[in-house]
Amino acid sequence: MIMDKDIEKIVASEAKIEEVCTNLGKRITEDYQGKDLVLIGLLNGCNPFFSDLLKHIDLKVQVDYMRASSYHGTIKSSREVKILKDLDMSIAKKHVIIVDDIIDTGRTVNCIKEVLSLKGALSIEACVLLDKAEAREEAFDAKYVGLTIPTEFVVGYGLDYQEYYRNLPYVGVLKEEVYKK
């Protein structure tokens, strides 16, 4: 791909991502047998992971989306979380899993969890492809984590830099010269 030249190294290959989706889907299937489950994807980055994860969950589930932002086009969190799109369905008396591509500072997922708890969910957990635990500024542990990665700026498989690179089929570290221009 033309964008490959901007990638310093790959941190999650297509094969590794498929393995992660399979394993997380099996765990969710086991944990939510007989429960009314809603998966809430956090747009835009969740799309590839959310779609692939769903294929491996063998349950009746409902799906909805929210959109929140804390990066606003930069490589670091602004520490201000904005809700740009709220849910279209009720989650009252349902079990909820927030699905996102990555958790780093913990601010966005904590904000979303707080909003969802006010909507009457029975339980709220998180499922993320990537966890940058070293970058955590607010306490938050996702129940379902695909891979823990170091604090490097990654793109691909839904993750972006200024809305580019989301379509890479893997996750890679973006070369510093690309975002220092």
Residue 8 within a domain: no
- Give the range of the structural domain holding residue 136, as residue numbers without chain letter: 14-152
| Domain contains 116 | yes
The stretches of the chain forming alpha helices (DSSP H) are 14-31, 47-54, 107-117, 176-179
1 domain-assigned: no
Helix (H, G, I), strand (E, B) or coil at 138: coil
Q: How many domains does the chain have?
A: 1
pLDDT tens for 82-139 read 889 999 999 999 999 999 999 998 988 999 999 999 999 999 999 999 999 998 998 8
176 inside domain: no
Q: How sure is the predictor about 73, in pLDDT bands with cuts at 50, 70 and 90?
A: low
Asked, for residue 79, whether it belongs to a domain, the answer is yes
Does the structure show a pLDDT above 80 at 76? no
Residue 81 banded pLDDT, cuts 50, 70, 90: confident
Does 3 map to a domain? no
How confident is the prediction for the chain on average, in pLDDT? 93
CATH of the domain at 142: 3.40.50.2020
Q: How far apart are the first and last CA of the chain?
A: 21
Q: Known catalytic residue: 131? A: no
Exposed e or buried b per residue across 33-70, where buried means at least 16 C-beta atoms within 10 angstroms of its C-beta:
eeeebbbbbbbbbbbbbbebbbebbebebeebbbebbb
Domain membership flag for residue 35? yes
pLDDT at 71: 57
- Identify the active-site residue in 6, 100, 104, 160: 104
